[in-house]
Structure 1
Amino acid sequence: MPKSARYLLIGSTEAYSGKSATVLGLSHLLQQKGLDIAYGKPLGTCLSESGDSLVEDDVQFISASLNLPENRIIPTMLALDDISVQRRLRGEDKIDYQKSLLQQQPTSPGDLVLLEGAGNLQEGSLFGLSLPQVAEVVDAAIILIVRYQSLLSVEGLISAKQRLGNRLIGAVINDVPAEQLQAVDTIIRPFLEERDIPVLGILPKSDLLRSVSVRELVHQLKAEVLCRGDRLDLMVESLAIGAMNVNSAVKYFRKRRNMAVVTGGDRIEIQQAALETSTQCLILTGQLPPPAFILNRAEELEIPILSVDLDTLTTVEIVDRTFGQVRVHEPIKVHCIRHLMDEHFDVDRLLNLLGLSPATALS
């Protein structure tokens, strides 16, 4: 009989806290310690069909990044979308997902199975797959990822501890601005440690991790690419709106870096100013084509210009929402999260809490 692996469930108190990024960095650290890991995300959010099965985008990407073999990948059972919810509410879906979850665990699971939880503690309850329910079914320890908002960010963790009890073995406080790092370390960390919530990592805010590729903006905006379609991998870290006079715009643009500038197709002087500053792409609204000299200058500077059939306000809302739901599917982000976790996450303490000892470190 193979020895039973331990389960570690990575959850969060609210969606888009950085679970996938943490899984990516943590699993790399564990592999470096010589551990044989498996990974899965029982409840998916972004599924596509592959042959006869459903494939979750994050699972596919993380598995590929870690070179996990098939027998170390746990299939995603369903997507948490309107269709699945309606089928469940109408009684058309009577599947016992907890039973299915047990059946889908790997027969040879290695040293540790990492499972990524839903967006918060209650999400997935309708299917018996909320974070506490999954933890009970597979007897998992839990780490919670919290995106730092203020000192009150501790409240979600205190509430979660009351609900999860001893299953909660640690927390990661993510996206902490540089000026708040000391307060988190000297005020929040001891407060949580006293309440038996080990703080395993305090991750500083990273503009790169919060960035989106121009390609992702093209996808979200359904934009037409007018030039430099070969430069869609450029990363956008901030958004600027070119709605003011040109002198104000130049001052405003010079304070920003790696930005996407949204402006009207008729605002030629703003387009010129944007191209001469730290702009990663120009997004033109109103479906007015820019003059040839703007396109030529953008070609020279290797800056993509996108055209959208949307007004400026709608465009800004979509870009803003895209920033709030960033994924870590670019190689530069993978490198960044691995570095951050290596610097700021206590993997040895985690192994100790799990009762695991590092295998011989891989050379």
Structure 2
Amino acid sequence: MPKSPRYLLIGSLEAYSGKSATILGIAHQLKAKGLDIAYGKPLAGGWGQSQMDDNDGDVQFVAQTLGLEDNRLQPTLLTLDNETVQKRLLGEDTIDYRQQLSEQTQQQGGDLVILEGSGTLDEGKLFDLSLHQITHTIRAAVLLVARFRSLLLLDGLIAAKEQLQNHLLGVVINDVPPDQIETIETLVRPFLEKRGIKLFGILPSSKLLRSVSVGELVKQLKADVLCRPDRLDLMVESLTIGAMNVNSALKYFRARHNMAVVTGGDRTDLQLAALETSTQCLILTGHIPPSKSIISRAEDLEIPILSVDLDTLSTVEIVDRAFGQVRLHEPIKYQYVCQMIKEHFDCDRLLAELGLEPAGAIS
């Protein structure tokens, strides 16, 4: 009879903490060590869910990126949204999701099943699928990914330890500014370890990981691409509004890097200034077509121009939201994450704590 796999549940204190990136990076390292990895996302949707999110697409992206067969994927049990909550409240949904999860566990093969938790510790409690309930149902070890905003994150980690107790294997602190890494190492690490919370990794901030592809902006803005549709893979790190005089704009543009510039279609002077600086795309509002000279210059410089049927404020709100909810679907981000986990995450310690041994490195 084949042995049952170990379960590692990767959760977070808040949505968009970097769970998916951490999972991909860790799974890549463990597969390289010869482990048979499976993946699942029991509870999809939830807090922070937006039009950018596509849970089926996310699961398939992980599966394809890691080269997982169908029998190494655990199906999602429930998508948490207003409709599913209402059905539960009305008594139309009486499914025992913990029982379903338990049955999935009994059928799953592999050495290690990595499950992606929902946005917070409590999400899914109405359906008996909170992080704590999943942990008890399948006897999973929990690794929390915490985005660093300040040292106040310690309150949340201590509370999580009290709730999860010995099921909490440890934490990864993500998105740490360079000037805070030493503080995490010298103050936070010993504080956490003394309280039985192992710190497996300190992941530095990355402009690349917080960037958004021009293609994603096209999708979110429902934009028309006026030129260079072959360069929608360019990554945008910042947003600039071109609404000032051209001299002020040039000084401002030169101080930014890999930006998207939002300006009116009639502002030829600002468009030209943006094209001569570190611009990844122009986003033109007002449905006024740019001049032929601007199109020609953008073609030469390989900078896409997008046209949107939105006002400037609405455009900026959508782009800002895209930066706040970045996805990992660009290959360059995946490659970066794998390298970052290799350098800043202790996979050997994770394996030891899980009671697993490498099966032999894969070249």
TM-score, shorter chain, exceeding 0.5? yes
What is the match of residue 261 of structure 1?
261
The one-letter amino acid of 1:348's match is D
What is the match of residue 139 of structure 2?
139
Contact 1:121/1:131 (<8 A) preserved: yes
Contact 1:211/1:326 (<8 A) preserved: yes
Which sits farther off after the overlay, 248-257 or 340-349?
Answer: 248-257
CA deviation after TM superposition for structure 1 residue 107, in Å: 2.5
Q: Can you give the 5+ residue segments of structure 2 that lack an aligned partner in the other structure?
A: none
What is the match of residue 40 of structure 2?
40
**1:92-103 mapped onto 2 (5 Å cutoff):** 92-103=92-103
What is the match of residue 334 of structure 1?
334
**1:161-180 mapped onto 2 (5 Å cutoff):** 161-180=161-180
Runs of 4+ with deviation above 3 angstroms: none
Which sits farther off after the overlay, 339-348 or 35-44?
Answer: 35-44
**1:227-246 mapped onto 2 (5 Å cutoff):** 227-246=227-246
Q: What CA deviation, in whole Å up to 9, does each residue of 1:130-152 have, x standing for no partner? A: 11111111100000000000111
**1:67-216 mapped onto 2 (5 Å cutoff):** 67-105=67-105, 107-216=107-216
Q: Can you give the 5+ residue segments of structure 1 that lack an aligned partner in the other structure?
A: 48-53
What is the match of residue 344 of structure 2?
344
Residues 1:60 and 2:60 are matched in the alignment:
yes
CA deviation after TM superposition for structure 1 residue 289, in Å: 1.2
Distance of 1:219 and 1:186 partners within structure 2: 43
Q: What SS does the aligned partner of 2:22 have?
A: helix
Which sits farther off after the overlay, 37-46 or 338-347?
Answer: 37-46
Distance of 1:291 and 1:362 partners within structure 2: 55
Distance of 1:247 and 1:123 partners within structure 2: 50
What is the match of residue 292 of structure 1?
292
The one-letter amino acid of 1:172's match is V
The one-letter amino acid of 1:31's match is K
Residues 1:316 and 2:316 are matched in the alignment:
yes
Which sits farther off after the overlay, 200-209 or 259-268?
Answer: 259-268
Indicate how the Cα distance of structure 1 residues 17 and 282 shifts in structure 2: closer, same or farther if over 3 A, else same: same
Give TM-score scaled by structure 1 length.
0.95
Distance of 2:331 and 2:243 partners within structure 1: 34
The one-letter amino acid of 2:57's match is D
Which sits farther off after the overlay, 103-112 or 231-240?
Answer: 103-112
What is the match of residue 17 of structure 1?
17
Distance of 2:128 and 2:39 partners within structure 1: 20
CA deviation after TM superposition for structure 1 residue 106, in Å: 6.2
What is the RMSD of the two structures over their aligned residues, measured on CA atoms? Answer: 1.6
Q: What SS does the aligned partner of 1:180 have?
A: helix
Give TM-score scaled by structure 2 length.
0.95
Q: What SS does the aligned partner of 1:79 have?
A: strand
Indicate how the Cα distance of structure 1 residues 362 and 126 shifts in structure 2: closer, same or farther if over 3 A, else same: same
Contact 1:13/1:146 (<8 A) preserved: yes
Q: What SS does the aligned partner of 1:203 have?
A: strand
